[in-house]
Amino acid sequence: MRFLRSSDAIILAILAVAMIFIGLVNPAFWQMSNLFSLLKENVVIGIMALGVLLVMISGGIDVSFTAFAVAGMYLTVRAMVALDYNGLVLPFMSAILIGGLLGLMNAGIIHRFKMIPLIVTLGTASVVRGLVLGFVGTSNVNINKMPDALVEFGKTDLFTLERANGSTYGLTAMIVIYLGLALVLHLVLKHTMIGRSVYAYGADPEAAKRVGFSTGRTMIFVYVTAGALAGFAGLLHSSMIWLANPRDFVGLELDVIAAVVLGGASIFGGRGTVLGTVLGVFILVMIQNSLILMGIDTTWQRIVVGAMLIAAVTVTALRDRRALV
Amino acid sequence: MTSAPLIELRNISKRFGGVRALDDVSLSLDGARIHCLAGENGSGKSTLIKVVSGVYQPDEGEIFIDGQKVDRLDPVTSIAHGVQVIYQDFSLFPTLSVVENLTLNTFLREGKTRIDWTRARKMAREVLARLDVSLDLDATVETLPAAGRQIVAIARAMLADARLIIMDEPTTTLTGREVERLFRIVRDLQADGIATLFVSHKMREMLEISERLTVFRNGKKVTEGPISEFDERAITRAMTGRDLHQGRFVAPNLAGRKPRLELRNVSVGDKARDINLTLMPGEIVGLSGLIGAGRKAIAQAIFGLRQDMSGEMLVDGVPVTPKSVPEAIAAGLAYVPEDRLSEGLFLTRSIRDNAIVSSMERFAPHLWLDAEKAGAETRKMFAEMAISAPGIDVPVGTLSGGNAQRVMIGRWLMTQARVLILNGPTVGVDVGSKEQIHGIIQELTRKSDLAVLMISDDLPELAANCNRVLCITEGRIMGELSGETLTEEALDSALSREIEGETA
Amino acid sequence: MNDTNSTVTRPGLRTLVKGETAQTNLMLAVVCILVLISMTALRPTMFLSSYNFESMAFFMPELGILSIAMMIAMLTGGIDLSIVGVANLAGITAGTLFAAMAGDGGSGALGLGPVTLGVIVALLVGMAAGLLNGFLISVLKITPILATLGTGQVFIGMCLVLTGGPAIVGFPPGWNAIGNGKLLGIPVPLLIFVVICIALSVLLARTSFGLRLKLIGTNPKAAVYAGVKRGQMIFYSYMLTGGLAAMAGVLLSARTNAAKSDYGASYLLQAVLIAVLGGTNPAGGRGNVLGVALALISLTLLSSGFQMMRVSNHLIDFVWGGFLIGVIALNSWRSRKGS
């Protein structure tokens, strides 16, 4: 009963309506190959969105995660190329570590200088992108140079189906990683003290301190996790597209933030769920990718995303205003 | 008592810059007692709470808990000794559920890393049962009324194994019936061996609930004793340091004058009904009543801050229906809000900016701000209000409460307001400044033919400054006191009747 | 200062030497001079060449105007993340208009009239965009970050729809002159920038509009209680921001003789940085044009010096970001020391 009144249920309903609508306009939407490719598109944005969700629940906003993703991805891949290393575990750990350390920097600056997260993360994003492009390099690592292990890993499918013409398509196994991470984050947020401390801090930092939460530790958890997720997503992305581009993800911040807001998280903190975010990401990706199916020119994509974001925040603003009266 | 007191403070002093917030204060709190700490705003009550809860470290003095000297009392130690503070804002997490608000700090204290939701719900149910109240455990706290949030805060303190619960002005946002329920809960707590320290400036509550009373004034303990030794007059005298029935305000001869402000059958949403009110020039009319009786809603509606007013309103005989503050100002109305810091002042801006903000049209008819004229008029107001500050360019945030309030009132002097509504005119103002502000209000009223509507919880203030006081109960004017009948006792018994009426 | 008469001294003079704003400005001026000296020492012939200064004078104004626009939005405690979108939309609308007016003959024939019309249309586009932002923020009460994030996407999207993707080229010569011409030997963009700076400093420091914006930023609730028309003021401030962004768009498209949906994307961060660096409080209530101009000059000098020394362009991003964080740290340290 309670679920039906939650914002997650509303988002789910919107998603269902949108899917039915798109399917009516063009039944090709329901083809398995289309759905599989949609799910694949969800993975990287989704993992990043989990980090953004965490930051948003804590009452902040993060625009540095794409830069961290680039750092995690490009530094790791370049190191692999330079060392001629061809493994999986170590590179992913390295990407996570790079992202996490950069996140620690965010946490340190935000907590110590009590500065608005938006401004801080704008700064750190600039620093990190500048460092990567300025010191490490500006050229892509293409498929011919990409470590085989990464490429092979990105190709992993859960299962494959055959089209009528004999070509095959599959559901990427990366979706399992994404949903696994989402589940873990959900459990952490719901059932651990550190998870609840994020909500508490986002709801009222002063009250959180009075109750006895260590707010510094909460901030570190939030930003390190967000950074680590970004670093991981970055490397996963290059493994899925067989390319490491140090200029990647520019402008993606906005899409990811839009997805998280669409998923019902509040920019004022204390509100937001993993389920909502996963649904928000799916809606965003689905609509972005279905414009062609619906016969709309792709140049309209940004207008649609922007309009969706505005609509979502308008609804939230109206809801919050009603709650205040 | 033979055993050592729960908490004993000896010769505590605490300074902030040049201000002595606590001056050589000693206080002893026994277990399972209901103690009341009384004093006006700024008397040092809040500082004392923060010393006991370990938020502030005293500059001088010693603290003993259970007879043991504590060298450095920090929040964690204080909580470990069973001290729980319920602040006025309750310090709850609005977006989290009741069960979570209740149990989070217990889990935190136990050093848990995981949350056992089953146990959490059980704990929450038990503690609410002990309090004999029912709340939806899964509701988010933001959806609860103030009384419900207070219950959550008390229950949370109980779950933290409190031995002493300090409640800071716990009744300000409660209705009469809710106050009764709070008192019952406090007595139940006492039966369970939990002491309560009430911090209040409301007489009736102190007399009704507490066993022992300590009165603070200007950072010093003025008097202390069992409640039986006090009556209302004694408490007031101790709190304010002055006798009742000092000079009182007499309105000038009103014969033949036209009313400044008239309200005819005014209703404000569901907050106030059928208000009929006439304010003559040179009059100071008080509005007395409990919090939530509708006084603030009436004031805000007059000032164009609410859109749900019906009925007729006339200023100097001209019908006005202000839909916004600028319209109200243009009609000659002015409002000094209760919460000066959040609703009134621009703390980092200069006195001049704070003063001219509402009369800017005069200094900048076409965008261009005439700085000379604005400065000159501000200085005139500055002198008239006897503001003590280095100049009109200093930020208002550096002023004392009394001087800041003078800037607030001075702002409306500059709009040439004819009707001035004061909500809590001397809240947070020290005693000396208070009388001066009263003097200024009275003089302005006489001299400029202002009509003043004064909302206050401070009964002596109403008795001394108003020529009439209207008693508001549940959004209606239930009585009027004036002349000889206007005494503090009469005001007080009018309020008491209201409480009885509600609880009956 | 105990003498109340001392308050008679002109406020303009005093604020130059006292107060937080003045301290920040003084610091920025010192930074400018230090950068100038060190760059001169390192690369005297190149850095001090008139060519170098002239090229700065052409490209600095766009960013400067965007930074002032950002500062205006921040004064009321808001932010405008759509300024670059607005700038490009203004340039592209003007370009589309020129193409339509010129027909097959090419835009070379378009004279002063059409160019003036183009500028007016561009500015109107900017103000309309600001109107939309103002509506979302003051009527629908959407947080400025999210509202302008969304409208920014919409504006960039509209650019894409108008252009179909590639850049619009072929602006008339008169338009070109706005971005590349000189008047009395002074680059036109610089002239425009100086005029805007002076106009806005006066607007902010000497008019009721400026004071009201700062008061709203200082305490929005108290502003309403004091009779400031908050909604209306916020509307105006975002329209002003939008108009300024459009002006920057005019300069950008006039200088490069082209307009594209993703031009100047890096300007957004830089505008925020310069505004904050120039002493603007992102929480509202404080900000001044002089500080923003000084921050702009010091960062431009720094960038240009780095370019001279053949340091990678990307390291300049690094330095800018580092600068921003350094300033945050310094401000925090200073306010802690003060309290």
Residue B83 domain boundaries: 7-240
Q: Strand pairing partners for A86?
A: none
Contact C222 B391 (CB under 8 A): no
Residues in chain C: 339
User: pLDDT band for position B358 (50/70/90)?
Assistant: very high
C80-92 pLDDT, tens digit each: 999 999 999 999 9
- Paired tokens of B15: 């300074």
Same domain membership, residue B272 and residue B233 = no
Same domain membership, residue B168 and residue B273 = no
On the question of pLDDT at B246 being above 60, the answer is no
Q: In this complex, which chains have at least 3 CB pairs below 8 Å with chain A?
A: B, C
Same domain membership, residue B272 and residue B220 = no
Same domain membership, residue B291 and residue B149 = no
Nearest Cβ partner of B104 from A196, A271, A323?
A196
Min distance C44 CA to chain A CA atoms (Å): 25
Question: Above pLDDT 90, what percent of chain B?
Answer: 28
Contact C314 A124 (CB under 8 A): no
pLDDT of residue A282: 94
Contact B76 A212 (CB under 8 A): yes
In sequence order, what are the residues at sequence separation of 6 or more whose Cβ sits closer than 8 angstroms to the Cβ of residue B161? B82
User: pLDDT band for position C7 (50/70/90)?
Assistant: very low
pLDDT of residue C242: 97
On the question of pLDDT at C136 being above 50, the answer is yes
**Three-state helix/strand/coil letters over B346-410:** CCCCEHHHHHHHHHHHHHCCCCECCHHHHHHHHHHHHHHCCCCCCCCCCEHHHCCHHHHHHHHHH
Burial of A192 from C-beta contacts in 10 A (0-12 / 13-18 / 19+) = middle
**CA A104 – CA B427 distance, rounded (Å):** 45
User: pLDDT band for position B388 (50/70/90)?
Assistant: confident
User: pLDDT band for position B499 (50/70/90)?
Assistant: low
Residue B454: closest CA among B427, B483, B416: B427
On the question of pLDDT at C24 being above 90, the answer is no
Contact assessment for residue B219 and residue B59, using Cβ atoms and an 8 Å cutoff: no
H helix or E strand, kind and range, residue B13: strand B7-16
Contact B329 C227 (CB under 8 A): yes
Contact assessment for residue C21 and residue C15, using Cβ atoms and an 8 Å cutoff: yes
CB pairs < 8 Å spanning A and B: 63
Same domain membership, residue B269 and residue B197 = no
Contact C149 A258 (CB under 8 A): yes
**Which of these ranges, A31-45, A101-115, B275-289, B418-432, has the smallest mean pLDDT?**
B418-432
Same domain membership, residue B409 and residue B325 = yes
pLDDT of residue C14: 42
User: pLDDT band for position B431 (50/70/90)?
Assistant: low
On the question of pLDDT at C200 being above 80, the answer is yes
Among chain B residues, the shortest Cα distance to A3 is held by B138
Same domain membership, residue B336 and residue B220 = no
The answer to the question of residue B245 being in a domain is: no
* ipTM exceeding 0.95, yes/no: no
Q: End-to-end distance of chain B based on CA atoms, in angstroms?
A: 37
- Backbone phi and psi for residue A112, each to the nearest 5 degrees, phi listed first: -75, -40
Higher-confidence residue of B3 and B223: namely B223
Same domain membership, residue B293 and residue B150 = no
pLDDT of residue C2: 39
**CA B281 – CA B258 distance, rounded (Å):** 8
pLDDT of residue B357: 93
Which single residue is written with the structure tokens 């008795």? B463
**Which of these ranges, A298-312, B232-246, C203-217, has the smallest mean pLDDT?**
B232-246
User: pLDDT band for position A140 (50/70/90)?
Assistant: confident
Residue A170 CA from chain centroid, whole number: 23
Q: Strand pairing partners for B473?
A: B476
On the question of pLDDT at C108 being above 80, the answer is no
Min distance C274 CA to chain B CA atoms (Å): 23
Alpha-helix runs per DSSP H in chain C? 11-17, 19-42, 44-47, 50-75, 83-102, 112-134, 144-163, 173-180, 188-206, 208-218, 220-225, 230-256, 267-277, 289-308, 313-338
**CA C246 – CA C75 distance, rounded (Å):** 19
pLDDT of residue B303: 93
Query: How many domains is chain A partitioned into structurally?
Result: 1
Q: What is the CATH number of the domain that holds A78?
A: 1.10.3470
Contact assessment for residue B484 and residue B456, using Cβ atoms and an 8 Å cutoff: no
Same domain membership, residue B427 and residue B282 = yes
Q: What is the CATH number of the domain that holds B469?
A: 3.40.50.300
B304-328 pLDDT, tens digit each: 988 888 999 999 999 998 989 999 9
Same domain membership, residue B191 and residue B44 = yes
Among chain B residues, the shortest Cα distance to C221 is held by B343
Mean pLDDT of the region A14-21: 90
Among chain B residues, the shortest Cα distance to C209 is held by B367
In sequence order, what are the residues at sequence separation of 6 or more whose Cβ sits closer than 8 angstroms to the Cβ of residue A285? A38, A41, A42, A45, A259
- Please give the mean pLDDT across all residues of chain A: 89
B333-336 vs B419-423, strand pairing mode = parallel
On the question of pLDDT at B338 being above 50, the answer is yes
**CA B52 – CA B64 distance, rounded (Å):** 10
On the question of pLDDT at A158 being above 90, the answer is no
**CA C177 – CA C171 distance, rounded (Å):** 10
Q: How many Cβ atoms sit within 10 Å of the Cβ of residue A267?
A: 21
**CA B241 – CA B368 distance, rounded (Å):** 49
C267-298 pLDDT, tens digit each: 888 898 899 888 888 888 888 999 999 999 98
Question: Above pLDDT 70, what percent of chain A?
Answer: 96
**CA B251 – CA B241 distance, rounded (Å):** 26
Q: Domain C2-338's class?
A: mainly alpha
DSSP A234-283: HHHHHHHHT-B-TTTTTTHHHHHHHHHHHTT--TTSS---HHHHHHHHHH
The answer for C185, left when phi > 0, alpha when psi is -120 to 50, beta otherwise, is: left
Nearest Cβ partner of B108 from A203, A211, A270?
A211
Residue A56 domain boundaries: 2-324
User: pLDDT band for position A67 (50/70/90)?
Assistant: very high
Mean pLDDT of the region B95-113: 88
- Please give the mean pLDDT across all residues of chain B: 85
Residue B494: closest CA among B459, B461, B442: B459
Same domain membership, residue B427 and residue B368 = yes
**Which of these ranges, B56-70, B110-124, B195-209, C54-68, has the smallest mean pLDDT?**
B195-209
The amino acid occupying position C294 is L
On the question of pLDDT at B247 being above 50, the answer is yes
The answer to the question of residue B378 being in a domain is: yes
Higher-confidence residue of B426 and A239: namely A239
Nearest Cβ partner of A302 from C142, C157, C265?
C157
Question: Above pLDDT 70, what percent of chain B?
Answer: 94
Query: How many domains is chain B partitioned into structurally?
Result: 2
In sequence order, what are the residues at sequence separation of 6 or more whose Cβ sits closer than 8 angstroms to the Cβ of residue A90? none
